[in-house]
Structure 1
Amino acid sequence: MDLEKSLSAILQEAKGAWGVVVKELAVQNGAYFAHRPDELFIAESVIKVPIMAAVYAACEQGKARIDAQLALRKEDLVGGSGFLYALSPGLKLSIRDLVTLMIIQSDNTATNMLIDLVGKEQIDRTMREVGMERSRYSRKLMIYPQDVTENNMITAGDVARMLEQIACGGRFSRWASADMIAIMQKQQVLNGLPSQLPSRSGEDGQAAWELACKSGWDTGRQHDVGILSVQGRQFAIAALSQDVRAEAALHTLGLLGRAVYDFAVA
């Protein structure tokens, strides 16, 4: 099976504009595909993955403890994704629990609490260290300060490099890498890359798989990124879209995820 032909055919039929990178990990001269890898897209909630990386980097540097508890404050509460905004101030959650909510439910309140914890400088530094060369973090979620007009921005190439660092180590300890992947594997929003994969258990006669992923969306934009593990192989997948309706974009994301899976098991 030719991965490049499969992915190119999917993108040729896709609506909207796409930036896609697929890279086989931990294999010399492994499979690689790139379509507009350096084009900037508004990050939406995909920015939460480098924020997670910054939290773990801060913990490994002794600036925080992953099991330390933070108290929910009234001023932390913001709407959008997640449910912490509906809970009572004073509730205490561990940093790891906040990361988990940020990733698997895309909780914006949890995200902003973690941003306050580590700060913009730590996020910027971690993004540089994991190879996010063109991407940038500019502001918290669901907050639009008058003095910050820029959006958080990412490229597919930058995201793929970050995912490789998370999966393969180098910038993180084995513990931190494994913990981040374990959290992403608990993802509850599964309507993109995983949507056309076979049964996760492999009970239908096809190979079992795991996908540590994070999506992000708003009107006209639908992203999904992740690390697909199947039959001892790992692939970083970064798929970003804009100027496309959600239904069409989610269908394309599902096709992309399935194409990488089919290549892995062929």
Structure 2
Amino acid sequence: MRKFRPLSSLLIVLILCLNFSGITSAHPLRESQASAAELLRWSSAPDLPDANLQKLLEQSVAGLAGDWALAVKKLDTGQMAMVRGNERFVAASLYKLDVLLAVASLHAQGKLNYDDTITAILDDDIEDYANGDPGIDPGTVLTVQRTAELMIDESNNTAAAMLIRTVGGQNAVNSTLQDYGLGHTIYDPNNDNLTSSGDMMRYFEMLYSARLVDADESKWMLDILLRQELNFLIPANLPDNVPVAHKTGNLPNLMHDAGIVYSPGGPYAIVVLAQNLDSEDTARAMTPQISQAVYDYFNKNNYQPQRTFPQTGHTVSGQFLKFWNTWGGLSEFGYPLTEAMTEDGMQVQYFERARFEWHPHDAPYPVQLTLLGSQVVATHGYLTAAAAPSHADDSQFFAATGHNVNKSFLTYWRNHGGLTVFGYPITERFEEVNPSNGRKYIVQYFERARFELHNEGSDDPYVLLGSLGSEELQSRHQTQQQDTIDSLFEQVTQIGAI
């Protein structure tokens, strides 16, 4: 672990000289430039136990010295397997993921800002001084942001102690873990910090799908984890351009790594825990091999997922299912209403709230959503003229279309897909009678969606998406029926004229 001190001008010169002389860090940063904003998704696939993946994991640790626990889940297809997934292991520095989550939770509550400062005290440094490797000198002043970066990317123990003190200590960290159902994970510095490979897999699954606190906080955590400097385990044998967001942990005879690999074949969470080792060299050698085997499994096998929904009797498969799984699932798109079919010269599939389109040559987004919101607004002639910008704190003005989004609609837009899923707002809020149930709601149209403010069964209004996919399908069906009737009438008229 490196000691953190402000750099003197002489030290800066020495570092520049070392860099230009070709000397590199023992744990170089990876080449991938992907950002959290690009990688964040809004849901993950349900668990789908994979017998072949299970066999691969079991064989990879069979006969190895020490205790090993593994957990892997393909986040866009659900393929999953675990070895000793629910057994508690000593967490080592993986506990710093718990602290990171507690910091993000406080920030979301408005009780902490990332540019707030923390002053290191001697008690923060006790663990590192005991190890003969003091991490941050007492009296050093750092922002919360920089302290979190040091804690994760360099695994700085003193930075972790500073943040634990800031968030309220052991009880605050454990309370946050309970909020997210991580039942095998506990922060207990007086004994052992514990976790399980299954809990760590769920942690990263929730992070991947913007469910750790909210989308903004998930993005903040993911950005830090993508800049990890200790890359000698899970990423070691993977291509340098593959983004990996992860955290290591090691103690004598113990070595862990856990994170998300954003592979070309799709993203997956992977956790490798190893303790009671005869030698840490075993984990240094085997964890990269296990990681590479999982990477090859997901990238060399042309697995096409498929799921039939008994609620409607229709099947979703391939890229449409991967998109449904990771960009919102049931809450965003609803159930499938048709099979995949050819319409308007392309492959499409209808869902209750959306229509998927297949554009195979439009990488990296071959699956796109029909602009159903725009179609409805144009059909009904709703007012789309630009509005004056609102200056309310809970409002955002979108200059691209000249409309404001505020309050609960803005929160929903930000936390469920934003521009990628819903597009820009194309109207202001107004009241509209819902064509499905005849009730009047406050609504707002976006390019691909209609937001509706409901209050059925709740004291607090909540946002639901309008059934634009269902309405579009019904409209097309009625149009086709009318075209058939008109054609038959024309034929009868012609026969009568003969």
Q: Give the corresponding residue for 1:213.
A: 246
8 Å CA contact retained: 1:78, 1:108: no
Q: Tell me the distance in 1 between the aligned counterparts of 2:141 and 2:247.
A: 25
State the Cα distance separating 1:74 from its structure 2 match. 3.1
**Code of the aligned partner of 2:98:** P
State the Cα distance separating 1:212 from its structure 2 match. 0.8
> Is 1:18 aligned to residue 86 of structure 2?
no
**5+ long unaligned stretches in structure 2:** 1-49, 301-498
State the Cα distance separating 1:87 from its structure 2 match. 4.8
| Among candidates 231, 239, 246, match of residue 272 of structure 2 | 239
Q: Give the corresponding residue for 1:142.
A: none
Where does 1:114-125 land on structure 2 (aligned, <5 Å)? 114-119=163-168, 120-125=170-175
Where does 1:1-150 land on structure 2 (aligned, <5 Å)? 2-25=52-75, 27=76, 30-80=78-128, 85=134, 87-119=136-168, 120-139=170-189, 148=190, 150=191
State the Cα distance separating 1:21 from its structure 2 match. 0.6
- Structure 1 consecutive aligned stretches of length 4 or more whose deviation exceeds 6 Å: 81-84
Q: Tell me the distance in 1 between the aligned counterparts of 2:275 and 2:92.
A: 11
Structure 1 residues 86, 177: CA separation in 2 closer, same or farther (over 3 Å shift)? Answer: closer
8 Å CA contact retained: 1:53, 1:126: yes
Q: State which drifts further: 110-119 or 231-240.
A: 231-240
Q: Tell me the distance in 2 between the aligned counterparts of 1:125 and 1:87.
A: 27
Q: Tell me the distance in 2 between the aligned counterparts of 1:234 and 1:122.
A: 31
Q: Which has the larger radius of gyration?
A: 2
Normalised by the size of structure 2, how large is the TM-score?
0.47
Other structure's SS at 2:236 match: helix
State the Cα distance separating 1:215 from its structure 2 match. 0.9
| Among candidates 250, 253, 259, match of residue 284 of structure 2 | 250
8 Å CA contact retained: 2:124, 2:158: yes
Q: Give the corresponding residue for 1:144.
A: none
Q: Give the corresponding residue for 1:168.
A: 209
Other structure's SS at 2:65 match: coil
State the Cα distance separating 1:62 from its structure 2 match. 1.5
Deviations 1:67-108 (A, max 9, x none): 211122233223549999355433221111111100111101
Q: Tell me the distance in 2 between the aligned counterparts of 1:227 and 1:172.
A: 18
8 Å CA contact retained: 1:14, 1:252: no
Task: Tell me how large the CA RMSD over aligned residues is.
Answer: 2.2
> Is 1:158 aligned to residue 199 of structure 2?
yes
Q: Give the corresponding residue for 1:206.
A: none
8 Å CA contact retained: 1:131, 1:161: no
Structure 1 residues 115, 153: CA separation in 2 closer, same or farther (over 3 Å shift)? Answer: same
State the aligned residue count: 247
8 Å CA contact retained: 2:66, 2:275: yes
Larger RCO of the pair (alpha carbons < 8 Å, separation 6+) = 1
Q: Tell me the distance in 1 between the aligned counterparts of 2:265 and 2:115.
A: 31
8 Å CA contact retained: 1:18, 1:240: yes
Other structure's SS at 1:195 match: coil
Other structure's SS at 2:292 match: helix
Q: Tell me the distance in 1 between the aligned counterparts of 2:151 and 2:91.
A: 15
Structure 1 residues 84, 90: CA separation in 2 closer, same or farther (over 3 Å shift)? Answer: farther
Deviations 1:21-63 (A, max 9, x none): 10122x35x2101000111111110111111011101111112
Q: Tell me the distance in 2 between the aligned counterparts of 1:83 and 1:190.
A: 24
8 Å CA contact retained: 1:71, 1:92: yes
8 Å CA contact retained: 1:37, 1:157: yes
Q: State which drifts further: 214-223 or 72-81.
A: 72-81
8 Å CA contact retained: 2:255, 2:275: yes
8 Å CA contact retained: 1:76, 1:112: yes
Structure 1 residues 87, 7: CA separation in 2 closer, same or farther (over 3 Å shift)? Answer: closer
Structure 1 residues 182, 32: CA separation in 2 closer, same or farther (over 3 Å shift)? Answer: same
Q: Tell me the distance in 2 between the aligned counterparts of 1:87 and 1:127.
A: 27
**Code of the aligned partner of 2:258:** V
**5+ long unaligned stretches in structure 1:** 140-147, 202-208
